[in-house]
Amino acid sequence: MSSYLKSVREWATPTLKSSAFLSRGVLTPEEFVAAGDELVYKCPTWSWEGGDPTKAKSYLPLDKQYLITRNVPCPTRVSALENSIATGGDGTAHIDDECDGEDWLVSRIVSVEEQAKIREQELEDGFDILDEEGEIMGDVQDKMAAVQVDDTKADAAAVGAAEEDDDEDEYADMADFEDDNVLEDEAAVQAAPAASASAEDNIRKVRTYDLSITYDKYYQTPRVWLMGYSADSNQPLTGDEMMQDVMSDYANRTVTIETHPHVSGPHASIHPCQHGAVMRTIVRNLTASSSSDEGGEDGGTGKAPSIEMYLFIFLKFVSSIIPTITYDFTQSVTASTAKSK
């Protein structure tokens, strides 16, 4: 019933004819196709699909009904990153004039490099070494020097012990030595096939996703769809399993299980009700950033991004919702989602 009502609503909505990219963050069908062409050109992992002709939308070309990228790796679950999330400040979009006044939070994931620095700092803070007088060393270089001195002493002791062992074993029974070697060689031969088999086991198998992008006529924005596959059997994931790869703020709220308009099987879909508002905010901030980079005064008008950049910006923002699904959007996009004052 819900799908039927949605289809009726979309059918009754007139097709957007005039560009409202800068003012509302939305696209006409023609602009969606232009942005999709640029994505396919810059990122060959994406391609256009026509799908079932009986399900084709009349406002889009028959061979460009939706975009798709297949076998996208998803190496970790989102829960592994949840403790590394920083929200608020420039990383949060507060958009309360769309979708029943609810805020749209775009989370910022702490990068691997930042996490490594944090761990190094924690290790350094907890790394206390006593000097010869029993006092704690405060300087990192002093600590490292002390460790190197201890290592040198340990190496010298090891060398001395080895020399003593050589003297004691100088006249060891060579027959025993040969027997030991034979046993070791036989063991190595027997272990060789097992080692070869384990090398294949060391190839990491991960979940994969097919991501597709359709044009939502009602909301006049792109809409992302996800179909996941298990690492071991390549079987489709259940809805609950796919939600494991969605930030918890959005799982079963902004991201729900829906019926894809072109592809069979249940898909996880990012609801597009706030896409236009978020995109409008990002585009305005990109324009303002361009103005400041060009030395413009406050209030000056900068260079707005082109329609062709839309999907690159869009996919960048979507990556904050599904951060562990590593799809390609190539272009480097950096923009705040906070509202401009």
* Residue-wise pLDDT tens digits, 200-244: 556 678 999 999 999 999 999 999 999 999 998 889 999 999 999
- What are all long-range contacts of 248-252, with beta carbons under 8 Å and residues at least 24 apart? 248/78, 248/79, 248/82, 249/105, 249/107, 250/321
Measure the N-to-C terminal CA separation of the chain; round to a whole number of Å. Answer: 43
Residue 102's pLDDT is: 47
d(CA 187, CA 194): 11
In the chain, % of residues over pLDDT 90: 47
User: What mean pLDDT comes out for the span 139-158?
Assistant: 57
- Give residue-wise pLDDT tens across range 68-114: 999 999 999 998 876 555 444 444 444 444 444 444 444 445 555 56
Residue 167's pLDDT is: 53
Residue 98's pLDDT is: 40
List 43, 74, 99, 273, catalytic entry: 273
Q: What is the pTM of this model?
A: 0.66
The answer to whether the beta carbons of residues 58 and 199 sit under 8 Å apart is: no
What average pLDDT does the chain have? 76
Residue 273 annotated to the active site: yes
* Dihedral (CA of 324, 329, 333, 339) sign: negative
Residue 329's pLDDT is: 81
